[in-house]
């Protein structure tokens, strides 16, 4: 005797089929208008440069214009809240970094964004490295010399970061723990002032982004001791990595992109494929390499895992008391 499907089941199956058809249709015709990438920081910084380097190629892959909008404020919250307020259709993309997705949620009670609840990761586009630079008047010229000096003067050396609770802050603490000393944290609002105070001796050392390499290498105003990546920087090959010098320290910075939760999965998949293709285009990869950045082009799942792992690692530092936010 043939089985009959209950009326409610037939209706549910029909509704599911309609949803699948709608999703397929959306994926086929999306995008139909320009896409906006919101950079929640001022123009000219690392995040802005990476996004604008990538934007044109991403637009070519997707067949539409990609517009970059800088919307700084409140540690990135202003820009990210703007993305969350926009329609969840994939036409508004957020630039995200460890500060907005990991460290600020751990350290700032006023930070209201719930990273992996409010956002769906698309890709960790590039991995970033840092340069350990010291004031030339310290009289050290190698990482070993600096380590010995810092241990003799533990707690007496000042270091600068772009802000309390940023990934720079966390990485400085991780580095000092690996090298066996403690430094005194001095928070700033951007790297330019950090560099000036490093020259003058107001601070004695700093981890600087590779976008500062021209200033670091200009005229011997500071001494570059080590690079925190897995390889030497092409633009400063004379500076060895920490690992080459016997210190097991690699920073874990990245620049990535995400959309608001609730964006259709088919659109997220399309964005992920497009970002990966654009990042791996030779011209884009070469320009990013010259900036001292390694193309990662992770999948959404890999990016989510990286955020979760960072949250666990940095959360342990906060709970240990090693990171103090005044």
Question: What pLDDT score was predicted for residue 174?
Answer: 93
Q: What is the CATH number of domain 32-127+253-320?
A: 3.40.190.150
Q: Residue 74 has which token pair?
A: 């409140």
Architecture, CATH, for domain 130-245 = 3-Layer(aba) Sandwich (3.40)
Instruction: Judge whether 161 and 207 are in contact, CB under 8 Å.
Output: yes
Question: What pLDDT score was predicted for residue 289?
Answer: 86
Q: Is 177 helix (H, G, I), strand (E, B) or coil?
A: helix
Question: What pLDDT score was predicted for residue 166?
Answer: 84
Domain 130-245 in the same topology as domain 32-127+253-320: yes
Q: Report the alpha-carbon distance of residue 286 to residue 251 in Å, rounded.
A: 22
* 35-39 and 92-96 beta bridge pairing: parallel
Question: What pLDDT score was predicted for residue 59?
Answer: 97
Question: What pLDDT score was predicted for residue 139?
Answer: 92
The H or E element containing residue 124 is strand 119-128
Q: What is the DSSP string of 72-102?
A: --GGGHHHHHHHHHS-SSSSEEEEE-HIIII
Q: Is 175 helix (H, G, I), strand (E, B) or coil?
A: helix
Each residue's pLDDT tens digit in the chain (326 positions)? 444 556 555 565 555 555 444 445 555 689 999 999 999 988 888 899 999 999 999 999 999 999 999 999 888 999 999 999 999 999 999 999 999 999 999 988 889 999 999 999 999 999 988 999 999 999 999 999 999 999 999 999 999 998 888 889 999 999 999 999 999 999 987 777 899 999 999 999 999 988 777 777 777 789 999 999 888 887 788 999 999 999 999 988 899 999 999 999 999 999 999 999 999 999 999 999 888 788 999 999 999 999 999 999 899 988 888 887 75
Question: What pLDDT score was predicted for residue 9?
Answer: 59
114-153 burial, b if ≥16 CB within 10 A, otherwise e? ebeebbbbbbbbbbbbbbbbbbeebebeebeebbebbeee
Instruction: Judge whether 138 and 149 are in contact, CB under 8 Å.
Output: yes
Q: What is the DSSP string of 11-55?
A: HHHHHHHHHHHHHHHHHHH---S-EEEEESS-TTSHHHHHHHHHH
Domain boundaries, the chain: 32-127+253-320, 130-245
Question: What pLDDT score was predicted for residue 75?
Answer: 84
């Amino acid at each position: 005797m043939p089985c009959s499907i209950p009326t409610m089941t037939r209706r549910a199956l029909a509704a599911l089929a309609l949803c699948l058809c709608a999703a397929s249709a959306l994926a086929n015709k999306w995008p139909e208008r320009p896409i906006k990438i919101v950079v929640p920081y001022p123009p000219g910084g690392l995040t802005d440069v990476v996004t604008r380097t990538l934007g044109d190629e991403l637009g070519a892959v997707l067949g539409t214009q990609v517009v970059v909008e800088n919307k700084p404020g409140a540690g990135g919250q202003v820009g990210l809240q703007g993305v969350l307020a926009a329609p969840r259709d994939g036409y508004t993309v957020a630039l995200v970094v460890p500060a907005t997705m990991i460290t600020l949620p751990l350290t700032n009670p006023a930070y209201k964004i719930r990273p992996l609840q409010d956002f769906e990761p698309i890709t960790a586009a590039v991995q970033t490295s840092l340069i350990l630079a010291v004031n030339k008047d310290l009289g050290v010229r190698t990482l070993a010399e600096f380590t010995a000096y810092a241990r003799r003067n533990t707690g007496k050396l000042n270091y600068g970061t772009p802000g309390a609770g940023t990934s720079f802050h966390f990485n400085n603490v991780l580095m000092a723990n690996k090298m066996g000393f403690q430094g005194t944290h001095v928070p700033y609002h951007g790297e330019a002032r950090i560099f000036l105070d490093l020259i003058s001796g107001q601070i004695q050392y700093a981890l600087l982004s590779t976008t500062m390499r021209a200033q670091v290498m200009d005229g011997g105003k500071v001494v570059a001791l080590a690079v925190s990546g897995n390889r030497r920087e092409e633009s400063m090959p004379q500076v060895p990595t920490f690992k080459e010098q016997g210190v097991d320290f690699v920073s874990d910075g990245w620049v990535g992109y995400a959309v608001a939760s609730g964006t259709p999965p088919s659109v997220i998949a399309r964005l992920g494929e497009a970002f990966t293709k654009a990042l791996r285009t030779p011209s884009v990869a070469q320009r990013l390499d010259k900036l001292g950045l390694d193309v990662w082009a992770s999948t959404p799942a890999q990016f989510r895992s990286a955020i979760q792992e960072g949250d666990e690692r940095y959360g342990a530092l906060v709970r240990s008391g090693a990171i103090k936010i005044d």
